[in-house]
Amino acid sequence: MAGSSGYAQILSAFSHLATFGVAAAALQVFGEHRRSARVTLAVLFAAEIAAGAVAGQKQSFVITFLAVAIPFSASRRRLPKTVAVGALAVFMAVVVPFNQAYRHAARRGPVTLTPSQAAAAAPGVLSQSGGGLGTVPGSVTYLLHRVREIDSPAIIMQRTPSQVPYISPVQLVTGPVASLVPRVLWPGKPLMTAGYRFGQEYYGAPAAAHSTAAVTPAGDLYRHGGWVPVLAGMFLLGCWVRLVDDAADIRADPHAIFLVLLLWPVLVKGEADWVSLAAGIPAAVLTFAFAVTLAFSRVTPGRSGTPRS
């Protein structure tokens, strides 16, 4: 389970630095027009795409693309429609079919492949997963089902509190506070497995299925007492998103690119439960501050706010 080791939170935070490296190189290429950074950008971009494919993550492709596209657009240029359409075509015709086939191959049979075995199987899966236009309809159907977030709130309202009792609303506060304590100092800290337990309680998933279901912030708030927590919590979330939106002006402050890339998956996907969402804010702030310090601490004279080389 995620977060079961003392260093899992640190590794999770550091995993964002690779994408930030792509964004920093893109800022140098498009913002400072450094030709020498083009090779760095190409290498980092290719490495991050490959790493995301081996890890079986579709969102890695999207976030890595945004790490290049956003600095390009922020340099007061318009992103060419052909590039956007091409990226969408690759995602629908290659990334989604490969990811589905790759995950199926990694989990086939009673034994799950090890990371090295799964990585070794990736080239063969890529060659067999198609990549033509015939795979697009299946990808569209999959994504429409994947991004549909009404199912979880609907089943929560249907079964809570008649079949599944309300959870104490106090946990909406104590849960995020408890997450601030490092597992190294609190070895017995409860695991954040809301999605895993949610699948069992509401969908009847077996305990042996180590998978998580989308709870959504609104659905989780309703589980903690009904409409009052929903109205209060979503109001606070809306205020926080507005503050983030005001701060995320890449043209005024290049630092904001890291904030956008860090929060984009959480806000756009909207799958996390409220406790996990709130608990992740302090880690996101620390990761953002560390990345900005690492990338922008040494500034070239006359070029304020640009990433160092």
Name every residue whose Cβ is closer than 8 Å to that of residue 250 and which is 6 or more positions away in sequence.
Answer: 70, 71, 73, 74, 256, 257, 260
Burial 124-147, CB ≥16 within 10 A → b, else e: ebbeebbeeeebbeebeebeeeee
Residue 9's pLDDT is 65
d(CA 164, CA 94) in angstroms, rounded, equals: 41
Provide the sign of the torsion angle of the four alpha carbons 130, 131, 133, 137, taken in this order.
positive
Residue 2: count other Cβ atoms within 10 Å of its Cβ. 14
Q: Note whether 121 and 106 are within 8 A (CB).
A: yes
Q: Note whether 77 and 250 are within 8 A (CB).
A: no
Q: What is the pLDDT along the chain (309 residues), one digit of tens a residue?
A: 444 555 666 777 778 888 999 999 999 999 888 888 899 999 999 999 988 888 778 888 999 999 999 999 888 777 788 888 888 888 888 888 888 787 777 666 555 666 676 667 767 776 766 666 677 888 888 888 777 778 889 999 999 999 999 999 999 988 888 887 877 777 777 777 888 888 888 888 887 766 777 899 999 999 999 999 999 999 999 998 898 888 888 888 888 889 889 888 888 888 888 888 888 888 888 888 888 888 877 554 444 455 654
Instruction: Show the CA angle centred on residue 140, arms to residues 208 and 135, nearest 5°.
Output: 90
Q: How far is CA 184 from CA 10, 174, 190, 241, 282, in A?
A: 11, 19, 13, 32, 17
Q: Note whether 221 and 230 are within 8 A (CB).
A: yes
d(CA 88, CA 62) in angstroms, rounded, equals: 9
Say which residue the tokens 């009404």 belong to.
150
CB-side neighbour CA atoms (13 Å) of 118: 21
Say which residue the tokens 């190409």 belong to.
42
The length of the chain is 309
**Contacts within 8 Å (CB) and 24+ apart, 65-68:** 66/260, 66/261, 66/264, 67/19, 67/20, 67/22, 67/23, 67/26, 67/257, 67/261, 68/22, 68/23, 68/26, 68/41
Residue 233's pLDDT is 93
95 residue type, one letter: V
Phi, psi of 85 (to 5 degrees): -65, -40
What single string gives the DSSP state of each residue in 239-266? Answer: HHHHHHHHH--TTT-TTHHHHHHHHHHH
- What spatial distance separates the first Cα and last Cα of the chain, rounded to whole Å? 38
d(CA 20, CA 294) in angstroms, rounded, equals: 10
Question: pTM value?
Answer: 0.79
Residue 124's pLDDT is 73
Q: How far is CA 229 from CA 212, 296, 304, in A?
A: 23, 40, 44
Residue 132's pLDDT is 67
